[in-house]
Amino acid sequence: MVKPPRPFTSERPVAGFTDSSETVTNKDILNAFHDLLANLPKVKPPRRFTSERTRAGGTGAGGAVTNNDLLQTFNDLSATLREMMDGASGKDETSADAEAESVEAPTGRDPVRDKVAKLKSADPDADKMLLARQELETVVKSTGTAANEIMNLSDELLAAAEKIRQGQSSGEAANIDDHLSLLEEISTNLLMACEFQDLTGQRINVVTNTLLGLEDLIDDLFQAMDISKGTGKGGLDATTADDQRPDTDLLHGPQDEGKGISQDEIDALFD
C-alpha cells in the first residue's frame, strides 16, 4: 500500500506559480512530479529520475522545461512505480537484504507470495508438517506398545487356563477362587491396556485439525492464483517418490471396508 501522497504542488503553490500570470506552466508540472516522488514510500531507493537534473530548469533554451522533459519525467515515475509494485529486488540489493526479505512479515506487495509464506512456520521447530509427522509417529509407537501389552495379557490368560487344566487333570483340589481372581485381574489389565485409544485418538484429532488448517491456506492459494481445476494425481501416497522397489504400482496400502477385495472373492480366485 502506498501512502496517500501529500497534496501536490498543483493543489497549493510551493513557492507560488512560476509564472506571474498564475498559469500552470511545464515547470509547475515538473515540480508536481518531483513532489510525488518525494511522497513515495521509501521501501527501496527509487530509480534516479532522469529529469532530477532538470529540477532547476528544463532542457529547453534558457533552461525552459519542455514537453519532452515532462514526458521523460512521467516515464521515469511510471517505471519506478512499476518496480515498486512488482517487488522486484534491484541489482543493488545486498544478500543480507534478500535474507531479511525472505523472513519478514507479509509485505503486501505480492499477495501470492505472502500466502505461500504462511505455509512455512517462522520457527523451524514449530513447522506444522514436522509436528504432524511426529504426532503420527507417536501414535504408531503407542499403539505398538499397547498391542504388546495386550498380547502379554493374552499370554497370561493362556497360562492361567493351562494351569486350571493341569490342576483338573492331576485331580488337585481346584482352588477356584485363586484362579478366578487371577482371571479378573487379567481382565482389568486388558481393559486398561485399551486406554491408548483415547490418547491416540486425541493426537490424530490434532493432526486432522492441522491438516484442515493447511487445507484452508492452500485453498486461499488456489483462489489467489485463480486455479479452479487441478491437474495433480489425486489419492493418498502408499509409497514415497524415491521408492526404488519394483512393483510399487501394486502397493496401495489398507483399503476401507468395501473398497478392497473380500476374502470370499479371493477364495473364489483360488478355486
Partner 1 sequence: MAVDKKMQILVVDDYQTMLRILTNLLKQLGFTNVDQAQDGGEALSKLNNSKIDFVISDWNMEPMTGIELLREVRSSDKLKHIPFIMITAESKTENVIAAKEAGVSNYIVKPFNAETLKGKMESVLGAF
Reading the block at residue 265, the C-alpha cell is 472373492
Contacts of residue 123, defined as CB under 8 A and 6 or more positions apart, other chains included, come to none
Q: Give yes or no for residue 236 binding partner 1 (CB under 8 A).
A: no
Q: Judged by CB under 8 A, does residue 255 bind partner 1?
A: yes
Q: Please select the residue that binds partner 1; options are 64, 147, 217, 227, rule is CB under 8 A.
A: 147
Q: Taking CB under 8 A as the rule, does residue 269 contact partner 1?
A: yes
What is the spatial distance between Cα 186 and Cα 212, in angstroms, rounded to a whole number?
41
- Is there binding between residue 151 and partner 1 (CB under 8 A)? yes
What totals of helices (H) and strands (E) does the chain contain, helices first? 8, 0
Name the minimum Å distance from CB 200 to partner 1.
14
Instruction: Pick from 148, 173, 210, 241 the residue near partner 1 by CB under 8 A.
Output: 148
Neighbours of 157 (CB within 10 A): 15
Instruction: Spell out where the chain has E strands.
Output: none
CA dist., res. 185 & res. 111, Å (int): 62
User: Residue 252 interacts with partner 1 (CB under 8 A)?
Assistant: yes
| Closer residue to partner 1 (CB): 26 or 200 | 200
Tell me: does residue 242 bind partner 1 (CB under 8 A).
Answer: no
Q: How many residues make up the chain in this entry?
A: 271
- Site for partner 1 contains 141 (CB under 8 A): no
Q: Can you tell me which of 154, 166, 188, 208 binds partner 1, judged by CB under 8 A?
A: 154
The reply to whether 237 sits near partner 1 by the rule CB under 8 A is no
Crossing angle for the helix pair 196-224 and 128-169, nearest 10 degrees?
Answer: 160
Under rule CB under 8 A, how many of the chain's residues touch partner 1? 25
Binding to partner 1 by residue 20, rule CB under 8 A? no
| Residue 97 CA: distances (Å) to CA of 75, 93, 105, 129, 143 | 28, 6, 14, 28, 48
Is residue 261 involved in binding partner 1 (CB under 8 A)? Answer: yes
Give just the sign of the alpha carbon dihedral 197, 216, 234, 131: negative
Binding of residue 194 to partner 1 (CB under 8 A): no
Cell of 95: 544478500
Query: Is residue 173 a contact residue for partner 1 (CB under 8 A)?
Result: no
Which is closer to partner 1, CB of 154 or CB of 197? 154
> Which residues of this chain interact with partner 1, rule CB under 8 A?
144, 147-148, 151, 154-155, 238, 245-247, 250-255, 259-263, 265-266, 269-270
